[in-house]
Amino acid sequence: MMELILIVILFKKLKAISDKKNQSKWFPWLLPLLWFAGEFITPFIVVFVYAILGNPIANTLLLYGYALVGAALGAVIAFRIVHSLPTKSLTCPKCGWEFTKFSRLGVECKVCNTQLKVVDGKVSLLNNA
Ligand SMILES: [Zn+2]
């Protein structure tokens, strides 16, 4: 339960970063994806490595600890990826004016003065709703 709350909080943080860069709404999903991938794969790797070293792991609590380390690594990688994304510029569909910043209400094109709105990284004319 604690884990799910943490995932939701981190997901929202990652979404805020991704949205600010006008990136796809799918990028924040890297967080739960890499979290669970790290959580499930890491214990197998650890068991494998311990077995190779001729030292079988018996402590399940220790394995759970490794799983959480894997989850945390997954989260770090997800944040790294989204942090490294460039800010995508958006363009006015009428004249091609490029912009990166807009408010929740939309933006006015500085070239042709058209009222534009941005939904999920896509630009459309406000009056054509
Ligand atoms: Zn324009």
* SS3 labels along 2-63: HHHHHHHHHHHHHHHHHHHCCCCCCHHHHHHHHHHHHHHHHHHHHHHHHHHCCCCCCCHHHH
Q: Which residues surround ligand 1, an ion (CB under 5 A)?
A: 92, 94-95, 97, 109, 111-112, 114
- DSSP letter for 100, please: S
Mind listing the pLDDT tens digit for each residue in 7-27? 999 999 999 999 999 998 899
Across the strands, what pairs with 51? none
Task: With cut-offs at 50, 70 and 90, classify the pLDDT of residue 128.
Answer: low
Ligand 1 centre distance from Cα of residue 90 (Å): 11
Ligand 1 centre distance from Cα of residue 84 (Å): 29
* pLDDT computed for residue 26 by the predictor: 94
Mind listing the pLDDT tens digit for each residue in 41-96? 999 999 999 999 998 887 889 999 999 999 999 999 999 999 999 999 999 999 99
Contact between residue 16 and residue 29 where contact means Cβ atoms under 8 Å apart: no
